[in-house]
Amino acid sequence: MTLCLLWSAGQVVAQTNENKNNSIKPGEIWADTDGKHINAHGGGVLFHKGKYYWFGEHKIEGRGGNRAMVGVSCYSSSDLYNWKNEGVAMPVIQR
């Protein structure tokens, strides 16, 4: 049982390391740490306490993309290659 658990834990670590970016590849889709396309258009990056934060407009595909009305997405990174989706930092408020 212990051997099986150790092997499984090793597989998770191996898979996680395989999915990490170690370079930026111009022209390719840049995925976040969940494997989804980063959605932070017209963004800006801030550096705070050893971590980078990327804020940008959340858009959807197609003709409605500019009227998505979702808000500003936030991603965080410690190395500028691998970005974790932190969710919508500033949602649109309809009045």
Query: Can you tell me which residue has the tokens 């898979």?
Result: 15
Could you read off the pLDDT of 31-88 as tens digits, one per residue?
999 999 999 999 999 999 999 999 999 988 877 767 767 899 999 999 999 999 999 9
- Tell whether the model's pLDDT for residue 92 goes beyond 60: yes
- Tell whether the model's pLDDT for residue 11 goes beyond 70: no
Return d(Cα 64, Cα 58) in angstroms, integer: 12
| Cα→Cα distances 54→17, 69, 78, 95, Å | 22, 19, 11, 27
Per-residue model confidence (pLDDT) at position 4: 36
Q: How far apart are the first and last CA of the chain?
A: 58
Q: Which residue has the higher pLDDT, 1 or 16?
A: 16
**Domain locations in the chain as residue ranges:** 40-95
Kindly tell me the burial class for residue 70, based on how many C-beta atoms sit within 10 Å of its own C-beta (0-12, 13-18, 19 or more): middle
Identify each DSSP E strand in the chain by its residue range: 41-48, 51-57, 71-77, 84-91
Model pTM score: 0.74
Per-residue model confidence (pLDDT) at position 63: 77
